[in-house]
Structure 1
Amino acid sequence: MGKSETTAVNRKADIVSAAIEVFSELGYYRATTAQVAKRANISQPYVFRFFATKEQLLLTAIEVSWTRVIESFRKIVETAPSETLEQLLIQEYEGIQMKHQNEMFLQLQAQCIREEAIQEAMREGFKQVREMVLKAFYNAGIANPEERTMLFLARGMLCNVAVAIEMPELMKR
């Protein structure tokens, strides 16, 4: 990859990072590409060089947030002993949630955006996580893997809400 290609990839990543921050702080509908550009320290036309629409930018931001969770979980699933699998997945998600809070807020908001492409991106992210965790729970011999997977996902959602509304007692075990 040449220097200009590397710079373009880095700038695109900067734009997506700025979009995650701006969308999570202001909400998708209130946020503008001008605000994203300002946060990324670039011009608004440069945002459109990479993303034709604000929706495409949001879809990429959602994909980045799901990829982080999926790749992190994949590492746990591939290496964790069966007896600690669920606890390690919970700890991993708590770590992601704390380090990448804006991504979790973005996902929370995206669940309520009714545009079909955004709904599909959210369905796909949940589907991949669910399938991975369910398969891992089956392979680990965890009792009631379907129910445990549902509870695992529900717990993650509740933790997101607890952080968003600053109510940590919802996360107590």
Structure 2
Amino acid sequence: MVKGTTSLDRRNDIISAAVEVFAELGYYRATTAQVAERAAISQPYVYRFFTKESLLVAALDLSWQRILHTFQLVRDTKAPEFLEEGFTRAYEKIMESHRYEILLQMQAMTILETPVRETMTKGMNDVQQLVFNAFLQAGIEEPQERTTIFLARGMLCNVSMALDMPNLMIKR
């Protein structure tokens, strides 16, 4: 371990490596040995913090927290008439800067293990609730329908990115 590096730093390094490895190879094909190699640590050190499943859950939680934090900033700083556009631009930036996190979320939607499913459900519910409440508080008409459309567009953006098909993106 690098002098001055804390256990929390190493834990975060492991999660970051897992995001990349799981997104590149898929959860079922990836191994904790590959995650350890990417994080430049030993495999037993990974197990000091995580099982493979708990590592996936931590990686997914990180990705959801990033989206929520970013959307909270938009909600708190954008005028009501720019709220939806602000969420859209913020999400596009996340897709550019944290592509592997979004790809990992997409893969995780097909994983049936309960902890993974619960993390995905909670993340989507939290984002849906934040967007809905922001639209409601901003006085946007039909906030539930607008929220659903916004989330559906986000999913289409994910597919567009994953398949490298920019023609699927909705231009405004």
- TM-score class, shorter: over 0.9
Following TM superposition, by how much is the alpha carbon of 1:117 offset from its aligned partner in structure 2, in angstroms?
Answer: 1.0
**Correspondence 1:114 to 2:112:** yes
When normalised by structure 1's length, the TM-score is: 0.95
Gaps in structure 2 of 5+ consecutive residues: none
Q: 2:111 aligns to what SS in structure 1?
A: coil
Q: Which residue of 1 aligns with 2:45?
A: 46
Q: Which residue of 2 aligns with 1:37?
A: 36
Gaps in structure 1 of 5+ consecutive residues: none
Following TM superposition, by how much is the alpha carbon of 1:144 offset from its aligned partner in structure 2, in angstroms?
Answer: 1.1
Letter in 1 for 2:24: E
- Pick the aligned partner of 1:127 from 125, 128, 142: 125
CA distance in 2, matches of 1:172, 1:76: 20
CA distance in 1, matches of 2:149, 2:104: 22
CA distance in 2, matches of 1:5, 1:57: 24
Q: Which residue of 1 aligns with 2:24?
A: 25
Following TM superposition, by how much is the alpha carbon of 1:170 offset from its aligned partner in structure 2, in angstroms?
Answer: 0.5
Following TM superposition, by how much is the alpha carbon of 1:6 offset from its aligned partner in structure 2, in angstroms?
Answer: 5.4
CA distance in 2, matches of 1:158, 1:22: 24
Following TM superposition, by how much is the alpha carbon of 1:37 offset from its aligned partner in structure 2, in angstroms?
Answer: 0.2
Letter in 2 for 1:50: F
Following TM superposition, by how much is the alpha carbon of 1:172 offset from its aligned partner in structure 2, in angstroms?
Answer: 3.0
**Correspondence 1:105 to 2:116:** no
Two-structure CA RMSD over aligned residues (Å)? 1.3
CA distance in 1, matches of 2:8, 2:43: 17
Write the deviation string for residues 44-86 of structure 1: whole angstroms up to 9, x where unpaired.
Answer: 00000111x1000000000000000000000111111001000
Superposition misfits of 4+ residues, deviation over 4 angstroms? 3-6
CA distance in 2, matches of 1:172, 1:155: 8
Following TM superposition, by how much is the alpha carbon of 1:4 offset from its aligned partner in structure 2, in angstroms?
Answer: 8.0
Q: 2:7 aligns to what SS in structure 1?
A: helix
Following TM superposition, by how much is the alpha carbon of 1:8 offset from its aligned partner in structure 2, in angstroms?
Answer: 0.8
Q: Which residue of 2 aligns with 1:14?
A: 13
Q: Which residue of 1 aligns with 2:70?
A: 72
Q: Which residue of 2 aligns with 1:171?
A: 169
Letter in 2 for 1:25: E
Q: Which residue of 2 aligns with 1:84?
A: 82
CA distance in 1, matches of 2:122, 2:31: 25
CA distance in 2, matches of 1:81, 1:124: 27
When normalised by structure 2's length, the TM-score is: 0.96
- Pick the aligned partner of 1:93 from 91, 94, 113: 91
CA distance in 2, matches of 1:148, 1:25: 33
CA distance in 2, matches of 1:98, 1:4: 32
